[in-house]
Chains A and B, each alone.
Chain A
Amino acid sequence: MYEVEDLVKNLSLKYGRSRRSLMPILQGIVEKHNYLTDEVMVEVAKALDISAAEVYGTASFYTFLDTQVRGKYVIRVCKTITCSMKGKGEIMQTIEEMLKIRPGETTPDRMFSLLETNCIGWCHKAPAMLINEMPYTELTSEKVVEILKSYMKTK
């Protein structure tokens, strides 16, 4: 609990306590803790002196401001047309088999979450995915296995 309070306090010192600071603060929390818990949203509401419903209402609008449990590494595989044409299905299958989770799920050790996402702007190097903020392009099953292994090592 203290940790949550400190984080919100530090972020609101950095970005200010006005409404326009809300997005940077929420983004800062997600960067550190992968998703927004109810308690952290209540804490942000207190810091900005707005209703917790306003915080939740804003957060839940944005795909990258997750309000559900997410792992340390959030994998977002692009599913828009070019990636879909160039082998997104195979990439998803490889990840699902390797991590033993389905789209929308998080591994029990809370290391990885697997999601599908809309166009991430790498159509010329499809298929592509993001792991947190890092893009990976021109994916093949072999490449994906190597990438995930390298993340597993950083445990």
Chain B
Amino acid sequence: MENKGLNKVGLIFENIDPKEVLTKAFKMTRDEIIQQVLDSGLKGRGGAGFPTGMKWKFTAAEKDPEKYIVCNADEGEPGTFKDREILDRVAYKVYGGMAIAGHTIGAKEGYVYLRGEYKFLLPKLMKELDDFHKMIDEIGYDFRIHYRMGSGAYICGEESALFESIEGFRGEPRNKPPYPTTSGVFCKPTSINNVETLVTVMMIIRDGAESYVRLGTKDSRGSKVFSISGDTPTPGIFELELGMTVQEFVKEFGDGDTKAVQVGGASGFCVPRKKFENTIIGFEGVPTGGSMKLFNSSRSMYNVLHNYLDFFTEESCGQCTPCRVGCQQLLKGVEKVKKGEVKSTYLNELVKLADTMKIASKCGLGQSVGNAFRTIVENFREEIIY
């Protein structure tokens, strides 16, 4: 097991000369950029972790002359707030990453889908976008970015639901395949990337893949911006090298009494104290889109689980039965167990239901409800029952 310890990094928020990086990128061929991104080992920073280079390769290979690059800024996972900070501080790097992606896949237009909760940022972001458009006009490159706003639906962070929303429909996920790289927004080949991923690409192009791979582990290259909250003396946003254990993380950010860390938000995994030492934060252990919530021994894990289930019950789009009914039944189920209306073994039935949702749900929302459910119920069973 490769263990990198806790190492603070400053790539994402570093101020750079975007013109220099873009001029360099536009002189590179599509294949050269794709190779750089593949070599960097960069995986999507939104949480799902699909290799960015592969996504671009597939989209670039499509013959359709009309393609799009979409920046997913519908950051809604409970405990995640890094994309807001990135947009607030270095939006020009996000736009730059989109232009590089556009150049690579052959898209002349891009969309940023910004969650409605962050609308207060829009005037500033639009002004910076104007400056960006002026800059790429100076370079002599044809590319335009548009903003679309969300309206308070968590599910729109799911890529195909996000496309539906841009097109003016209910944010209900589509069946896959076809994948976005073949048929995305407006049913055209689309690369949809997270805010942080696009910024990371700017840095990879500037510094080269060989510099980036020095950070992180074999399965989790580079660094990542973490959103840290809960029972910690230092809540906030920190860019850390991937490959640390939960133990090392807790040593730095815990309050001395940490009993569990929820990695990856409500759709992520709960790591209890006894597993801190042997759990790596990254794709070889527990993956995360950046959300890290610490809970100390004063917290009831029943309340945590109940809060998450309540969240999913409200945010399920209701399109497919396993997720719509599953979320409701899990919520009702844990309430019944807590009240003693059913035997505690009923929890085993609920775990089976969560597993079924993982297999049968149409999109990532329903598929991941079981992550938190299983890990909290397995590790804190007595807190759920008594």
Chain A residues near B (Cβ < 8 Å): 18-24, 26-27, 57-58, 61-65, 79-82, 84-85, 117-126, 130, 133-135
Contacts and interface: CB of A to CB of B under 8 A. Distances in A.
Contacts of B151: 23, 26-27, 62-65
A151 B171 CA distance: 33
A119 B116 contact: no
B149 A24 contact: yes
B78 A81 contact: yes
Given A20-B166, A62-B151, A125-B235, 14 more contacts: A19-B169, A27-B116, A65-B151, A65-B152, A80-B78, A81-B78, A84-B307, A118-B78, A118-B315, A119-B154, A121-B80, A123-B79, A135-B117, A135-B120
B117 A121 contact: yes
A23 B120 contact: no
Contacts of A23: 148-149, 151, 165-166, 168
Contacts of B80: 119, 121
B166 A124 contact: no
Contacts, number: 118
14 contacts: A23-B168, A27-B116, A27-B151, A64-B151, A65-B152, A80-B266, A80-B307, A82-B79, A84-B307, A118-B76, A118-B314, A120-B117, A121-B84, A125-B235
B168 A21 contact: yes
Given A63-B153, A121-B80, A82 B293 contact: yes
B340 interface: no
B304 interface: yes
In the A-B complex, the 8 residue pairs with the closest CB atoms: A63-B152, A123-B229, A22-B168, A62-B151, A124-B235, A64-B152, A64-B151, A61-B170
A62 B171 contact: yes
B228 interface: yes
A81 to B, nearest CB: 5
Nearest to B78: A119
Contact of B81 (A21, A81, A117, A122): A122
B119 interface: yes
A123 B116 contact: no
A18 B231 CA distance: 48
A61 B171 contact: yes
B227 interface: yes
A126 B229 contact: yes
Contacts of A65: 151-152
Nearest to A82: B229
B299 A61 contact: no
Contacts of B315: 118
Contact of A58 (B76, B116, B168): B168
Interface residues of B, number: 49
B311 interface: yes
B168 A62 contact: no
Contacts of A82: 78-79, 229-230, 293
Most A-side CB within 10 Å, residue of B148, B166, B304, B307: B307
A99 to B, nearest CB: 21
Contact of A81 (B165, B237, B308): B308
Given A118-B311, A124-B228, A125-B235, A64 B116 contact: yes
Nearest to A120: B117
B196 interface: no
Contacts of A124: 81, 227-229, 235-237
Interface string B58-89: 00000000000000000111111100100000
B118 interface: yes
B304 A81 contact: yes
Contacts of A64: 116, 150-152
A53 to B, nearest CB: 12
Given A123-B293, A124-B236, A124-B237, A19 B170 contact: no
Interface in B209-250: 227-231, 235-237
B153 A62 contact: yes
Contacts of A58: 168-170
B167 interface: yes
A118 B167 CA distance: 24
Most B-side CB within 10 Å, residue of A22, A85, A135: A85
A86 to B, nearest CB: 9
B307 A123 contact: no
Contacts of A135: 117, 120
